[in-house]
Chains A and B, each alone.
Chain A
C-alpha cells in the first residue's frame, strides 16, 4: 500500500515527478494463483502427454485408427536406410528427416526409436503407465483451476474489465500489431488487443477444447456424453485435435515468454507474483515518450 500512496502522490499532473512510472496493483490474487497452477500443470501435462503420444506416435482422422486403410495424417517413426537408422516425421504424406529429435534420438551410439526425445518426456524412459498417472493428476488440477479462475474472474470483474473485447480493441489492432513487431511495449493497466486475443484464446478456446477432447477420448465419458465424439468427428479426430491444441499452447508459451523478456521480465514477473506492476508515465500531451523493451 505504501508504494501505491507514493506513486499516486508522484503522478499528479504538473508535478515535477510526472515522468515517474507509477506502480499499480494489476493482478488479483486469483489471477496470480491460477496462473502458476496452470504453469505447473501445463508443464507436467505437456511432458507426460508427449510420453503418452510416444506409445502410438501417429494421428488419425475419424472414429478409429486405420490399419486396413489409411487415415493417418501425422506420424513419427524410425526406418532403416543405407545411411543407418533414421528418424522421420511425416505430415500429410510429406516426410522429413528428423533424426536426433523425432523418431530416432538419444546419446550418440545409444539412440533408440522413440517419437519425442527423452528430454521432452516424463519419465525420460518409455513408461506409458506412469505418464498417464501424471497426466490425469494434473488434468484434475488444470480443470479445477480453470473453473476456480472463471468463477473468481466473473465475480471480481477481471473478465469484464480486462478480457472482454471492445470496439476500441478492433480499432487499436493495426497499431498494436505494428508496436509488437517493433518490440515497442506500452505498460498500462489494461491489456492491449493482442494480449486480450492471446489470453482470451487460451482461456476460453484452447484450454476448454483441450479438456473436451481429453474427455472425448475416455471410453467411460463416451457413455455419459455420446454426442461429444460425433461433434468432434470421432475419437481419433478428437485425439488429433488434442495434439494440435497442444502445439498451439506450446506456441503460446514461447511467444508469452519472448514477450515477457522483451517487455521487461522483472516488471512482468513482479506483477504475476505480487500483483504490482510499474506502468508508463501518464501522458499529458500527444508526445508520449517512446519506450522499447
Chain B
C-alpha cells in the first residue's frame, strides 16, 4: 500500500510537470519564419500546388459542385468583405442603376468586348442553387443567376497563350501608400470554363444587391468565397500575374491566402 502511495505522488508530480511544460511552450516561436516570402513559408506553400494538381486530377474539368433545392434557401445570402463601395465612380454608376456600366473583356483575346448589363442579361443564362463557403469557415446557400463565363470567352476568342482570367473590380479593399487598392483576383481557364462558373446578376430571384456585388459578381463554385470577386467591371485574359499587385494572383493572395482556393 505504501508503495502505491509513493507511485501516485510521483505520478501526479510528473503529470503536472508535463502539463505545465505544454502550457508554457507558447506558439510565437514560429512567427518570424512565417511571413510571405520567407523560405520556410514558401516551402510549406508547395502543399497548395500539390492540392491544386491533385484536385484538378480528381475533379477534372467538369465535375459539378453540389446544387441544392429551394427549400435549402433559408436566409439571405450573407454579405462579406466590402459591402458598400465608397468609390466615387461606383457610386456614380449606382446612382443611375448601372445604365452606364459596361463589362470589358480584354487582354489576350482576338475580339475585345464591351457589354452593357442588358446585353449580358440577353445572353443565355444559368441559375444554380449553390453553397457559398467562406474561407473563415461559414457556409450559406443561395440561388444565383448569371451568364456563363465560358460564353463570353468564346465570344471574345481567347488567344492560345492566355492562362488565367483576371477580374478587375470597382471596390477599394485597401488603402496603401501608393494609392487605393481595388479588389482583383485570378482563376485558371479550367475554372473559368467550368459549367457553373457564371457572372451573376441575380440573387435569390432578385437583382444582385449592392452588398453582394452589384451589378455583377463571379461565382466559382468549386472554390472559396475570396475567389469570387464582386463589383466586376473588367475581365482580362493574361498569361501570368507576376507583375500584378504583389504577384501572387489576387488581393487576398497578396495578403497570404493561397492562390488555389478549392480547399
Contact = CB atoms under 8 A, between A and B. Distances in A.
Please indicate whether A and B come from the same complex rather than being unrelated chains: yes
B124 to A, nearest CB: 22
Contacts of A66: 74-75
A128 interface: yes
Contacts of A183: 4, 7-8, 11
A136 interface: yes
A157 interface: no
Interface in A58-89: 58, 60, 63-69
Interface of A: 47, 52-53, 55-56, 58, 60, 63-69, 118-125, 127-130, 132-134, 136-137, 139-140, 182-183, 217-224, 226, 229, 235-236, 239, 254, 257-258, 261-262, 265, 292-293
B224 A133 contact: no
Contacts, number: 176
A292 B4 contact: yes
Interface string B29-65: 0110010000001001111101100010011000111
B65 to A, nearest CB: 5
B131 A235 contact: yes
Given A119-B23, A121-B27, A123-B27, 4 more contacts: A55-B137, A69-B75, A133-B48, A220-B262
Nearest to B4: A292
Contact of B257 (A121, A129, A257): A129
**Most chain A beta-carbon neighbours within 10 Å: one of B11, B48, B139, B257:** B139
Contacts of B51: 136, 140
A250 to B, nearest CB: 10
B156 interface: no
Given A119-B23, A182-B4, A52 B137 contact: yes
B131 to A, nearest CB: 6
Interface string B219-263: 001111000000000000000000000000000100111100111
B66 interface: yes
